[in-house]
Amino acid sequence: MASKYTAEFINEELIKQTLAQNAQITQDEFNSIMAKAETAAGLNMLEVAKLLNIEDDERLNQLYAAAHRVKERIYGKRIVIFAPLYISNYCVNKCQYCGYSCDSGIDRKKLNNEELINEVKSLEAMGHKRLALEVGEDLANCDLDYILESIKTIYSIKFKNGSIRRINVNIAATTVERYRQLHAAEIGTYILFQETYHRETYAKVHVKGPKHDYDWHTTAFDRAMEAGIEDVGAGVLFGLYDYKFEVLGLMQHAEHLEQKYGCGPHTVSVPRLKPALGVDLATYPYMLSDEQFKKVIAIIRLALPYVGLILSTRESATLRDEIIKYGVSQISAGSCTGVGGYSEHVSGENTPKLNTAQFSVEDERSPDEVIYSLCKSGYIPSYCTACYRQGRVGDRFMALAKSGDIQNVCQPNALMTFQEYLCDYASEATKAEGEKVIAEQVALIKNDNMRKLVLVQLEKIRQGKRDLYL
């Protein structure tokens, strides 16, 4: 099956050589790299390798500040909010780091149609508009037809003022034909984490199952893009191997997509290895410290300034609130990694009926609590899905992102979707803080016509209109 596809674009020797040759960085080199980074033009492998070796606080603080500025230059103050939706945890793969591993002993479950509807209604009741659909790999228990039917059902559900407007999909590497079917189902981003770019480690942690094939997995984005899917979401599970190697592997993968398809990854996720059923973290020698994690996030923002940089609820609330400043543009909120967990939570069942969670969640705040915290920090929580629905995807999106022009639509659309949230779901405290944020951000819109239009649209939303966007 995989003979046609080889991941030759991941050059391990070049990565190791680049890291070895750039283990030191002079002050002049640092200044030059940072000057380039500030232009939001991105960085090459050599420059990234040098930044990865920074250890002193003064340079790290400069790095963080630059990442903050570059993120705001491109995406402004908006932070996209989403939630994962796990619909099946059946899996035939034996992956050493994952609670879904075929031999983990986890309770297996797949949502039936009624359960799926209840999960979506529960998410809509929290205010969610964007989902990441998650499944294990098991074609016997969770085939593509089930996934496609689930997508159709999710899009069809309208609960009170709620609706899901974008479904990103995280399924195992598959064929071009199956990706065509996903594309036809109007998915948003196709998400697939590499986990690790290091072949030896990849083989070690993916013991058996289809995911064991490094080349088939690593070339999945090629087949997805061949099938017409223009937005793909990459990610590394930090802690499996040396983080410096992984960042350069990510760089090579992004460069390959850019060269071959004219468009790099739409998003990059940065999960860290966390406790899960059957997973002993003591056996993993490459776990990242918080400081190393902050550095990785800042460097990815500077190296790939156009990407949506995603931070999950794997991290604690305190750390998430801090790390957002270093270049993050998307976060999950109110996440549940168990199958059927949202409706159980809404019903008041604090103890899940089954143990179905993929990994442990550290930020257990409700979406409203997360949003309140974002508002207090001056951010615009955004549920925007306009680019996807207006055809601003793939290279069209990238052109706007790389120029910084995307902010001209991101900010107005973020404000409108946030106004929806405040009207329909917010607590009184969050509503008060949110209205302050909206007033402050509207005043900062430089174009008079755009500012007037946004004010008109906001008032329409307050009067009951929904799903307005540019």
Q: How confident is the model at residue 352, as a pLDDT?
A: 54
- Alpha-carbon distance of 95 to 371, in angstroms, equals 34
Q: How confident is the model at residue 1, as a pLDDT?
A: 43
408-428, pLDDT tens digit by residue? 888 999 999 999 999 999 999
Handedness of CA 394, 395, 397, 401 (dihedral sign): positive
CB–CB of 391/399 below 8 Å? no
Tokens matching residue 298: 């800042």
Q: How far apart are the first and last CA of the chain?
A: 43
CB–CB of 132/83 below 8 Å? yes
Architecture per CATH, 70-390: Alpha-Beta Barrel (3.20)
CA dist 130 → 167, 331, 464 (Å): 6, 11, 21
Name the one residue in this structure whose structure tokens are 């409706």. 343
Find all residues with CB under 8 Å of 436, minimum gap 6, and list them: 375
Count other C-beta atoms under 10 Å from residue 172's C-beta: 21
Furthest CA-CA distance within the chain: 62
Q: How confident is the model at residue 154, as a pLDDT?
A: 98
Find all residues with CB under 8 Å of 332, minimum gap 6, and list them: 81, 82, 83, 84, 132, 310, 311, 312, 313
Q: Which of 125, 122, 71 is nearest to 310 (CA)?
A: 71
Handedness of CA 16, 19, 22, 24 (dihedral sign): negative
- Alpha-carbon distance of 283 to 335, in angstroms, equals 27
- Alpha-carbon distance of 443 to 450, in angstroms, equals 11
Which residues of the chain, if any, have pLDDT below 70? 1-3, 345-354, 356-360
Instruction: Compute φ and ψ for 225, nearest 5 degrees.
Output: -70, -35
Instruction: Compute φ and ψ for 233, nearest 5 degrees.
Output: -120, 115
**pTM beyond cutoff 0.85:** yes
Residue 52 class from Cβ within 10 Å (0-12 exposed, 13-18 middle, 19+ buried)? buried
Q: How confident is the model at residue 452, as a pLDDT?
A: 96
- Alpha-carbon distance of 131 to 280, in angstroms, equals 30
Q: How confident is the model at residue 402, as a pLDDT?
A: 79
- Alpha-carbon distance of 437 to 433, in angstroms, equals 6
DSSP codes joined into one string, 388-399: HHHT--HHHHHH
**Segment (H or E) for 226:** helix 220-226
CB–CB of 39/275 below 8 Å? no
Query: Is 465 in a helix, a strand, or coil?
Result: coil
CB–CB of 413/386 below 8 Å? yes
Q: Which of 272, 238, 337, 277 is nearest to 98 (CA)?
A: 277
CA dist 56 → 25, 59, 236 (Å): 11, 6, 25
- Alpha-carbon distance of 397 to 387, in angstroms, equals 8
Domain range summary for the chain, segments of one domain joined by +: 70-390, 404-462
Tokens matching residue 7: 């991941």
**Segment (H or E) for 267:** strand 267-269
Q: Which of 36, 111, 153, 79 is nearest to 417 (CA)?
A: 79
- Alpha-carbon distance of 334 to 81, in angstroms, equals 10
- Alpha-carbon distance of 264 to 255, in angstroms, equals 7
- Chain length of the chain: 470
- Alpha-carbon distance of 240 to 247, in angstroms, equals 12
Query: Is 405 in a helix, a strand, or coil?
Result: coil
